[in-house]
Structure 1
Amino acid sequence: MAVSARDRRTGFSRRRQYGAFASYVVAVAGAVVGAVLLLLSRLDPPAFAAVRMTAASITVPVSAGLDTVAGWVAAIPDAIGDHFAVKSDNARLRGEISRNRALLARARSIVYDNRRLRALLAVRDRSVDVVVTARLVSSTASSGRRFALLDAGRWQGVHAGMPVTGPDGLVGRVVETGPAVARVLLLTDAESSVPVRRTRDGVPAIAVGRGDGLLDIRSVSTNTQLRPGDVFVTTGTGGIYAPGLPVARVMAAGEDNAPAVPIARPEALDFALVTRALMPAPGQ
Structure 2
Amino acid sequence: MAPPRNRRPGFSRRAQYGRFIGYVGAAGGALFGAVLLLLSTFNPPAFAAVRSVFSEITTPVASGFHWVRRSLSGIPDGIGSYFAVHGENARLKKQLAKDALTVSRAQTLEQENRRLRELVKLRDVTTDAIVAARLVNSSSSSTRRYATLNAGAWQGVKRGQPVRDPSGLIGQVIETSPNSARVLLLVDPESIVPVRRVRDGLPAIVSGRGDGLLDIRSASVSTMGFRVGDVFVTSGTGGVFSPNIVVGRVIRTQGDIAVAQPAANPDGLDFALVQQTFLPEPTPTPAPSPSPTAQPRATP
**TM-score normalised over the length of structure 1:** 0.54
Q: Which residue pairs with 1:280 in the alignment?
A: 280
Q: Which residue pairs with 1:243 in the alignment?
A: 243
Could you tell me how far apart the structure 1 residues matched to 2:216 and 2:180 are? 31
Give the Å deviation of 1:144: 1.6
Secondary structure, in 3 states, of the residue corresponding to 1:267? helix
Could you tell me how far apart the structure 1 residues matched to 2:276 and 2:282 are? 12
Distance change (3 Å), C-alpha of 1:251 and 1:176? same
Structure 1: which 5+ residue stretches go unaligned? 1-126
Say whether the 8 Å CA contact 1:234–1:241 is kept in structure 2.
yes
The one-character-per-residue Cα deviations of 1:188-211 (angstroms, maximum 9, x if unpaired) are 101100000100111110001111
Say whether the 8 Å CA contact 1:223–1:255 is kept in structure 2.
no
Could you tell me how far apart the structure 2 residues matched to 1:167 and 1:160 are? 21
Q: Which residue pairs with 1:232 in the alignment?
A: 232
Say whether the 8 Å CA contact 1:128–1:276 is kept in structure 2.
no
Give the Å deviation of 1:268: 1.0
Opposite residue 234 of structure 2, the aligned amino acid is T
Give the Å deviation of 1:255: 3.7
Q: Which residue pairs with 2:219 in the alignment?
A: 220
- After TM superposition, the structure 1 = structure 2 runs for residues 96-245 of structure 1, keeping only pairs within 5 Å, are 128-221=127-220, 222-245=222-245
The one-character-per-residue Cα deviations of 1:64-90 (angstroms, maximum 9, x if unpaired) are xxxxxxxxxxxxxxxxxxxxxxxxxxx
Give the Å deviation of 1:167: 1.5
Say whether the 8 Å CA contact 1:128–1:277 is kept in structure 2.
no
The one-character-per-residue Cα deviations of 1:38-95 (angstroms, maximum 9, x if unpaired) are xxxxxxxxxxxxxxxxxxxxxxxxxxxxxxxxxxxxxxxxxxxxxxxxxxxxxxxxxx
Q: Which residue pairs with 1:16 in the alignment?
A: none
Give the Å deviation of 1:261: 1.0
Secondary structure, in 3 states, of the residue corresponding to 1:226? coil
Q: Which residue pairs with 1:53 in the alignment?
A: none
What is the Cα-based RMSD across aligned positions, in Å?
Answer: 1.4
**TM-score normalised over the length of structure 2:** 0.51
Could you tell me how far apart the structure 1 residues matched to 2:210 and 2:254 are? 20
Could you tell me how far apart the structure 2 residues matched to 1:245 and 1:251 are? 19
Question: Number of matched residues?
Answer: 157
The percentage of aligned residue pairs carrying the same residue is: 58
Asked which structure has the greater CA Rg, the reply is 2
Opposite residue 182 of structure 1, the aligned amino acid is A
Distance change (3 Å), C-alpha of 1:256 and 1:196? same
Q: Which residue pairs with 1:31 in the alignment?
A: none
Could you tell me how far apart the structure 2 residues matched to 1:234 and 1:261 are? 15
Secondary structure, in 3 states, of the residue corresponding to 1:160? coil
Give the Å deviation of 1:282: 5.2
Opposite residue 260 of structure 2, the aligned amino acid is A
Opposite residue 279 of structure 2, the aligned amino acid is M
The one-character-per-residue Cα deviations of 1:214-238 (angstroms, maximum 9, x if unpaired) are 1100011342111111000000000
Opposite residue 238 of structure 1, the aligned amino acid is G
